[in-house]
Amino acid sequence: MGENWKTREQMEMGERAMLAPFAQKSADSRGRKYPEPSHTYRTEFQRDRARIIHSRAFRRMEYKTQVFLNGTGDHLRTRLTHSIEVASISRTIARALGLNEDLAEAIALAHDLGHSPFGHSGEEMLAECMRDHGGFDHNRQSLRVVELLETPYPNFPGLNLTFEVREGLRKHEVFHEFPAPAGEKYHCSSLEAQVADLADEITYYSHDLDDALDFEILSAVQLKQNEIWRRSHHGVLTRYGSARGAELHKLIIRDIIDNEVNDLVTASAKAIAESEVQTADDVRRQRAPLIRYSDELAGANRALRKFLYQNVYYHPRVAEVNRRACEMLRCVFEAYLVDPDRLGDGATRRIENQGLHRTVCDYVAGMTDRYLMEEYERIAG
């Protein structure tokens, strides 16, 4: 039977033979909150990846803003395309370091499931609406999506993902507060989760520049102010002297990604070797993450982040559209508080356990840009 296809056990043996000793092996997973039988020919993290991709929340990301309001340009990124790009870069880095690609990819695909409509502006507005009721953070919301709000299974709430994928979604929280099955206290997540975290940064550094160029809100003079752009611009022209316009810009974006990934792999490999970690749990006991940039690139990236905030995220053409969209979000949120029946039976059943504000927040956070605007039109008459 096993001659023409691999069993799960064979795949797990392959991981032990091929992956680095400090990689998180699927056979060593701490498991799921609700026990399930193992699959015949898929590892635990492969199953998690499939559950995420097949979820309704994953499909809705196609119509959620990344930076530029969804629908304003055919080639601009959405939360969905952003997540797919993060997954691609995560697999590249994980493979280079001998880590578990399936785990890194699953975390990357799920990391924005809880993001609100209208991008970071929408997140800030939801946080304001929830200021006196527990707040709102899209990372914590992604956990709520996979642990509670997605309900495809009759026997338990959520997607029942493995501990390791859920651990990876807590990237901005204190890990020793995360309830591990054996009650261990630790400071870092797995290397795979650390990879997905920085792959997210690399992705939005590069594609937010790319989208801003497509949206024509960055000039050549502005771009030359940034060290990372200048360095790749020079390198690309050295190799492709005749490149101009859009072709040149695409080559520069690709070069930025290559430089970021190469630096990250080199610096991380050095940090891992110096730490002498031998197991995935050795990684968790470290005082600081081992997946990192070189000091030089880390500084340049901080400058790039500041550049993007000054010249892209707060640009009047972006900020004004987002401001109007967020006022729609506030209006819809307040209308639901006054008339919770608008939420429908599925959501209203959660009010007793989750509270009215949190239930409304869950519902609004799950909306696409398009649906929220349609709902605003209905409410505003």
List of residues 6+ apart from 239 with CB closer than 8 A: none
* Domain harbouring 353, CATH code: 1.10.3210.10
Q: What pLDDT, on the 0 to 100 scale, is given for residue 219?
A: 86
Would 254 be classed as within a structural domain?
yes
Per residue in 212-265, pLDDT tens?
898 888 988 899 999 999 999 999 999 998 989 889 999 999 999 999 999 999
List of residues 6+ apart from 151 with CB closer than 8 A: 157, 158
More confident residue, 313 or 129: 129
Q: What pLDDT, on the 0 to 100 scale, is given for residue 243?
A: 87
Would 3 be classed as within a structural domain?
no
Q: What percent of the chain has pLDDT over 90?
A: 80
Residue 162: strand, helix, or coil: strand
Would 2 be classed as within a structural domain?
no
Per residue in 107-164, pLDDT tens?
999 999 999 999 889 999 999 999 999 999 999 999 999 999 999 999 999 999 999 9
Look at the chain and report how many structural domains it folds into.
1
Would 1 be classed as within a structural domain?
no
What gap in Å lies between CA 275 and CA 215, rounded to an integer?
44
66, 82 contact by CB (below 8 A):
yes
Q: What percent of the chain has pLDDT over 70?
A: 94
Look over the chain and give the mean of its residue pLDDT values, rounded to a whole number.
Answer: 92
Would 205 be classed as within a structural domain?
yes
Q: Name residue, tokens 């470290």.
A: 286
76, 215 contact by CB (below 8 A):
yes
Residue 174 pLDDT more than 80?
no
**What single string gives the DSSP state of each residue in 37-66?**
PPPSS--HHHHHHHHHHTSHHHHHGGGSBS
Phi, psi of 292 (to 5 degrees): -155, 165
pTM for this model (two decimals) = 0.94
Per residue in 346-361, pLDDT tens?
899 999 999 999 999 9
Residue 61: domain span = 8-380
